[in-house]
Every structure is written in C-alpha cells, then in structure tokens.
Amino acid sequence: MTQLHTRRAALALLTAAALPRAAHAAPSPLTAVPPPDRELMVPVPGGRVYVRVNGDLTARRPPLLMIHGGPGGSHAANLQAIALGADRAVVLYDQLDCGRSDAPGDPRSWTVPRFVAEIDPIRRALNLDRLHVLGHSWGGTLGLEYGARRPPGLASLILQGPLISTPVWLADARRLRATLPAHVRAELTRCDVLTADSPGCEAATDIFYNQFNAIERRPAWAQAYRKSLPMGFNPRLYQALWGPNEFRSNGQLKTYDGTPLLKRITAPTLILSGQFDAILPDTARRFARLIPRGEAQVISGAAHAIQNDQPGRWLTAVDGWLRRFD
C-alpha cells in the first residue's frame, strides 16, 4: 500500500471512530398479547404461583423479572414489558391468591415476608443466576425488601411508583386530593367517616383514580386478557393488606415504613414515577437520594400506571436503564 493510501485509510478509520453510533431504538408498544414461550407453576411457601416467560432465558442480556402491584393485582398490568423480549427474557408472574396462581385464601400467607419469599423459588425454577427486577406499586415494596437483602446476581432494580412508606404515601395522597375540585374534596372528606361505600363516594374516588392512578383506559386487548384470568383482582387481599382505597389504609400495611431499607440496597436502583403519580416526583427523588446507587426519573404525561398511560416512554426508560447495567 502506498503512503497516500495508508494516510487515507488511517483518516477513514479516525473519521469512522469519531462518528456517533446510531442510538438503540427502544421496542415499540404492544398492540396484542403474544403467547408465552414458556409457562409453569412454581411451588412457593403456601402454594404455587403462575409464571410466564417471553424471550430467551439463555440470551446474553439478563432477564427482567416483573413484580405486579395491588396488593391483589396480577401480571396483566405488566404486559407491555413483553415488548422488551426481543433480546432478553421477560418473566411475569402472579403472586399467590392472584391471577392464575393458586388461591388458598389463607390470610396467614398475606404478609410482606411471605410474598418476598416467592421470588427466589421463581429464580431457581428458571435458573436466573443474574437478572433485573422491576416492582410496581405494592410490587415496589416487595422489590425494596428483596433488594435490601442484597441477593446475588441482582444486576439492577427498578422501583416504579413504589410504596416505600405508608405514612409518606398517605401524605402524598392528601396533597393530591387538595388539587381536586372543591365539591370532590368535600365528598371524599364525607366518605372518610362512612363505614360503607355509597354511589357518591365511588364517583369521587373514581375521579381521584382517573387523575392519579391511570389517565388512559387500558386498550381492548389488555382488558380482554385481564378478564380471561381466573382472578383479575383480589379485593379481599387488597383490603386485608392495605384498606378501602389508595388514600386510606387500615390494613396490615398501615404502619409500614421501609425507608431504613433504602440505604441497604447495593444494586443500581431507579425510582421511576409518573408526572401525576400517587408518589409525587419530589418524594421519588428524596427516596432515590437515600439509595447508595439510586436515581430518579419522572415520565411526563403519566400517572401511576406509566406502562398504560405512556407505554412508549415507559419502554424507552426501562430499556435504557436495563442496558446500562446488563
């Protein structure tokens, strides 16, 4: 090769190295539910839980395990995560007495430690030596408790709209209620002292939920999937652990405060919340500062159910975080 050709080749290499790499395109939101690549029932303390997998468990990128909210919800709330399954496995499961899992209905099983104890059996059943975990809402409580144990192989943790502290959650709820129209606030105040629901209470509560829980209706395909489950929602479990609604708690979690656990988490941790979430953005940022490797991110145009309100932005945020710590 001549000296001129050598210089040209070197210049071409330098130019190529200087060019920015094409940004990775986040997955597109789902428009239908794909069938699972694998389904199984995993024995856990108290019964068996339903697990579904989409994607390759042996892929280079660690799988993502999703923990649904509630208490009493189901994996149907996390269907959009399946869109991440092109280059990593996505594992969804139903907690005991939820969705397609066994439903023994034993209140003695309805404790935080027992629900946390479902995670490791799922990991063992699927050989998840290294993984990411995302817990949403009440699932964020379980993710917090699990992350604070410093389990081996936890690549990263996402706590989405998490219940970290019931007193703080209720304080945020009071701040959110104060932004509602006066007549709605008056009705909710009246309902606070009632022992039974009334049509007026239900309507006022729905206004709160429509602004701070889920702004958008679930698409028809997601609603149909949820209706196909043996139990789409377990109100008895919700009331026993939490209470009558999102801004009143008289169940087992009424004094829960996991704030001291935040400093014990060593995995990179993202607290993800919506602009109009039940956990306020400043609360999310305050909690993130207590985690040694914590960060906070707020998704605009979304309430508590970010994956439903802004699925594209949610997928971009989650996919970007996971790739940072694969």
Q: One of 132, 273, 304, 309 is an active-site residue; which one?
A: 304
Please compute the mean of the pLDDT values over residues 280-284 and round it to a whole number.
97
304 is catalytic: yes
101 is catalytic: no
According to the model, what pLDDT value does residue 273 have? Answer: 98
Spatial distance between the Cα atoms of 200 and 67, rounded to a whole number of angstroms: 33
According to the model, what pLDDT value does residue 7 have? Answer: 37
Q: One of 94, 97, 172, 277 is an active-site residue; which one?
A: 277
> Among 181, 180, 188, 190, which Cα is nearest to 205's?
188
Structure-model confidence comparison of residues 316 and 3, the more confident one = 316
Of the pLDDT bands very low, low, confident and very high (cuts 50, 70, 90), residue 61 is very high
Spatial distance between the Cα atoms of 147 and 249, rounded to a whole number of angstroms: 25
According to the model, what pLDDT value does residue 2 have? Answer: 35
Which domains are delineated in the chain? 29-324 (3.40.50.1820)
Of the pLDDT bands very low, low, confident and very high (cuts 50, 70, 90), residue 193 is confident
pLDDT tens digits for 255-270?
999 999 999 999 999 9
SS3 assignment for 177-220: HCCCCHHHHHHHHHHHCCCCCCHHHHHHHHHHHHHHCCCCCCCH
Please compute the mean of the pLDDT values over residues 113-133 and round it to a whole number.
98
Give percent of the chain with pLDDT exceeding 70.
92
DSSP SS3 for 259: helix
Spatial distance between the Cα atoms of 188 and 279, rounded to a whole number of angstroms: 19
Sign of the dihedral defined by the CA atoms of residues 312, 262, 174, 256, in that order: positive
According to the model, what pLDDT value does residue 23 have? Answer: 63
Contact 24, 315 (CB under 8 A): no
According to the model, what pLDDT value does residue 6 have? Answer: 37
Q: One of 137, 156, 249, 273 is an active-site residue; which one?
A: 137
CB-based contacts of 253, cutoff 8 Å, min separation 6: 71, 112, 141, 163, 166, 241, 242
pLDDT at 289 over 70: yes
Which pTM does this prediction carry?
0.92
94 is catalytic: no
CB-based contacts of 220, cutoff 8 Å, min separation 6: none
pLDDT at 18 over 90: no
- Cα radius of gyration rounded to whole Å, the chain: 22
Cis peptide upstream of residue 151 (ω within 30 degrees of 0): no
According to the model, what pLDDT value does residue 211 have? Answer: 95
For the chain, give the mean pLDDT.
92
Of 183-187, 199-203, 276-280, which gets the smallest average pLDDT? 199-203
Of the pLDDT bands very low, low, confident and very high (cuts 50, 70, 90), residue 24 is confident
Distances (CA, A) of 119 to 122, 126, 231, 249: 5, 11, 20, 26
